[in-house]
A and B are shown apart, each in its own frame.
Chain A
């Protein structure tokens, strides 16, 4: 089946620094990718929709200047957490729908655990 990878799988950074998380579709092209955030023992929260070749669409309440999304190619989307603070510590997950069944099913990356000290 389709595979989505994320890098890094975990990262620890100091407060005030920026962290970039990559999401790649390994064996399919994805014009759209989704970024989620999961707090401990809570559900996933959709943060934004990443669109190849155009600006990302952010959910209400998500700061677009803080969570920069770039969908540079059909297989890569990046999420940059700028000027990270401890409250940004979370598990970040990306997903991508394969092929033309764009909204029928999605494949999820393994997630990136961000810890901001």
Chain B
């Protein structure tokens, strides 16, 4: 069945550091791919998405490219801020939605 494998955390970075959170997937068809973010005490929010191969999703300085050849959708940000501290979930959607384990990011001033 479909599944998502996500880089485990926690990840701790200093402000303005470069961020990469790896995500790879297994799917039988052609899923849409997502990154969701969960800030402390809040529900999930969609961060970005890509619906087909080579699409790049971007939002708030974050970006991820749908790579079919490597079945990956790695999340990147060039310069993180303290306010980016949260848990990030990679997910795929075909007939239903499957989530990665989540990666906790802590950004220190």
Q: Is the interface of B mostly helix, strand, loop or mixed?
A: strand
Contacting B at CB under 8 A, from A55-113, are 93, 95, 103-106, 108-111
A interface residues, how many (CB within 8 angstroms): 17
Say yes or no: A103 contacts B100, CB within 8 Å.
Answer: no
Q: Is the interface of A mostly helix, strand, loop or mixed?
A: loop
Instruction: Kindly state whether residue A11 has any CB partner on chain B within 8 Å.
Output: no
Contact of A108 among B32, B44, B96 (CB under 8 A): B44
Instruction: Kindly state whether residue A19 has any CB partner on chain B within 8 Å.
Output: no
Say yes or no: A41 contacts B93, CB within 8 Å.
Answer: no
- Give the residues in chain A near B46, CB-CB below 8 Å: 105
Instruction: Kindly state whether residue B94 has any CB partner on chain A within 8 Å.
Output: yes
Contact of B32 among A34, A104, A110, A111 (CB under 8 A): A104
- Give the residues in chain B near A46, CB-CB below 8 Å: 96-98
